[in-house]
Amino acid sequence: MNIVFFVAALIVLVIDIAFAVYAGGIAEEKGYSKGNWIAVCLFFGVIGYILVAALPDLKMRTLLEKTNAMLKSKPWEAQKALESTEEAVQPKRIPVRSTKTAWNAKHGDEWKCPKCGTMNQRNALFCKDCGEYK
């Protein structure tokens, strides 16, 4: 009977160590010390795992601070960087055949804002000058 409890305790200890190492890896990905958080998880158990899950991501925070600083100092360069990132992330679109009617050929692919009279692209939902809805 004593051997059963010993084996069960050993299995629980191995599982706890495995989870603590995994939680330490998560903490390291967030920018914290892996060894410290393994020790916290081993000592506190489930509470340590909850603490690791609640840790803020230091790497993401640093990236956001750099992005904000760049936006404040050079917004035109930040806009170019954002557009190039969006182009890289967006999947390439397959062109669709245009079904232009005689009206579209005459008036183009634009619509006129009822509020300010600005001509806007056909696919725009809001006016580029006043922001009025199509």
Q: Where are the domains of the chain?
A: 1-84, 105-134
Query: How does residue 95 score in pLDDT terms, banded at 50, 70 and 90?
Result: low
Of residues 39 and 103, the one with the higher pLDDT is 39
Residues comprising the chain, all counted: 134
Instruction: Round to whole Å and give the CA distance between 25 and 108.
Output: 57
User: Is pLDDT at 49 greater than 80 in this prediction?
Assistant: yes
- Which tokens belong to 32? 């914290």
Name every residue whose Cβ is closer than 8 Å to that of residue 96 and which is 6 or more positions away in sequence: none
Would you state the pLDDT for residue 16?
A: 93
Phi/psi of residue 126, nearest 5 degrees: -125, 150
55-78 per-position pLDDT tens digit: 998 888 888 888 888 777 776 666
